[in-house]
Structure 1
């Protein structure tokens, strides 16, 4: 079943640095999930040309570029958090409450899920996950304070070098794993397990999403301070303030246009109005020019974002139980 709503939205741009301003009209289409209160969270491009996403209510979702939706319930449920395409061509995900790393092939059907789950040892709460340059999957362990590695056959190794509260993780341009740390730090781990951390200049910044940028650096969101951060592979950090510090930037990805795209998860209202701060999709150039695009559904909580195979940006709406598609003009 597909229910879609399309909107043409104007651009709200803030000139922070020299750079091209995108065209004034982008199209956002929203697809309503069949399961109410499903809480779609992370989203990634799959190897089959579709978008795959997690649902905090204990499901894995799949949506084609023309909006056809399928949902796969995970046995035992749990808070299913992050998802990525693995080096073996399957989708790998984290299950925070069951303390497991899961694998679902792109050939899964509602009748035959083909899901395999691997337990993370010890006190655990896997959060973020990404494919490493070494042919394995790497994940953050939010409860255990560790960074984990899992092979495609399910062998788990964990590294606990220094105290950390790691959240999202990505493969960097230098072959290392880069992650956000809730203690106002950005971390770097080699595939041998050596960790270095860099302190974000802004205190109480709340680093959340992280991605490899198009410029050879790593970019991240600061959900509490309302900024987008950039860190070079040698640890130099630059921060870019959003138009409002209460926007709560969350997920981030590199777009097909060479800019960084991010979600704004907050919703600040005035006198019963629609969200006037947050509830937007943002764009920032590598020189710091910010543009924002309002999400049609009010208070939907844009969460994760990724570039699709169709040249559009796809994102999840956590509170709205929708998946959105933003088409560049």
Structure 2
């Protein structure tokens, strides 16, 4: 197994979220430093200061306009950065709403979660904002992704459920079978959604009609956090166990220890090179080679 690490910041800066950009680079949020980082697959690093050290840039996604979009959880903004480093931001109307998850929707807009407000937001690249109130309270709505059915799917961490919202704002909530499963990360496969259950040490598969199957991880105390679909199943971070795991389509789990102890693995993405890139909050990125990522 070939796993290497690249230092991208000091150990107190992050990174937290990571995505593959349209320019063939990896883009990261330095959550504790108020910066965005761009890392090429050959190791070239650039960082961009957001001008607000405590804004907590959290999750990041490639947008429909060729830029990168990210949530600023602490100061209630959605940020945008072009591939050449030009920054802009959109303030949300409700203080303390806590934007966190974000994804590009099928309608040319950005869709994001408001953790502290039980809302889903929709923002066009032109700045038009709509917000949809969810039929739950204190649910701690977390991550969001576009599903194979053209709707947006999201996790409700404290409501023990996964939600679905259509582009016109119709919401459906699907409860998870395991009590206190506390879903966090969610990703879309070719025909279903997959989410991690940080409280139960499981991965759930949700069909587009709401049927749920759950897969127990070998270490139920591993605290799975983020998940991304691959060619054969999904990859996920085990935040509490300092590992990355692969769940194949048939339910087989393969776990990989990370080189640095207590590295706090969070976001992960399949890079343009086919490697798996993992954000480690101790200031590093771990890279699993494409040969490893195929297993």
Is this a same-fold pair by TM over 0.5? yes
Q: Deviations over 1:161-214 (max 9, x none)?
A: 412421000000000000000110000000011110101101111101000014
Q: Could you tell me which residue of structure 2 aligns to residue 115 of structure 1? A: 87
Aligned-partner Cα distance in 2 for 1:69–1:282 = 27
**5+ residue gaps, structure 1:** 1-25, 109-113, 267-277
1:103 corresponds to which of 80, 94, 101: 80
Aligned-partner Cα distance in 2 for 1:67–1:225 = 36
**5+ residue gaps, structure 2:** none
Q: Could you tell me which residue of structure 2 aligns to residue 234 of structure 1? A: 209
Match status 1:296 vs 2:270: no
Match status 1:306 vs 2:280: no
Indicate the structure (1 or 2) with the bigger Cα radius of gyration. Answer: 1
Report the CA distance between 1:244 and its aligned residue.
Answer: 1.0
Contact 1:50 1:64 in 2 (8 A): yes
Q: Could you tell me which residue of structure 2 aligns to residue 159 of structure 1? A: 132
How do residues 152-301 of structure 1 correspond to structure 2 at under 5 angstroms? 152-163=125-136, 164-182=139-157, 183-214=159-190, 216-255=191-230, 257-266=231-240, 278-301=241-264
Aligned-partner Cα distance in 2 for 1:68–1:313 = 17
Q: Deviations over 1:46-87 (max 9, x none)?
A: 000000011112111111111111111111121111100000
Aligned-partner Cα distance in 1 for 2:131–2:10 = 35
Match status 1:136 vs 2:109: yes
CA RMSD of aligned residues (A): 1.0
Aligned-partner Cα distance in 2 for 1:199–1:217 = 16
Report the CA distance between 1:98 and its aligned residue.
Answer: 1.0
Q: Secondary structure at the match of 2:239?
A: strand
Contact 1:161 1:194 in 2 (8 A): no
Q: Could you tell me which residue of structure 2 aligns to residue 31 of structure 1? A: 6
Aligned-partner Cα distance in 2 for 1:314–1:96 = 23
Aligned length: 285
Match status 1:70 vs 2:32: no
Contact 1:27 1:328 in 2 (8 A): no
Q: Which 4+ runs in 1 deviate beyond 4 A?
A: none
Q: Could you tell me which residue of structure 2 aligns to residue 10 of structure 1? A: none
Aligned-partner Cα distance in 2 for 1:290–1:120 = 40
Contact 2:144 2:155 in 1 (8 A): yes
Contact 2:25 2:38 in 1 (8 A): yes
Task: Compute the TM-score of the two structures, normalised by the length of structure 1.
Answer: 0.85
Aligned-partner Cα distance in 2 for 1:326–1:70 = 22
Contact 2:226 2:268 in 1 (8 A): yes
Q: Could you tell me which residue of structure 2 aligns to residue 111 of structure 1? A: none
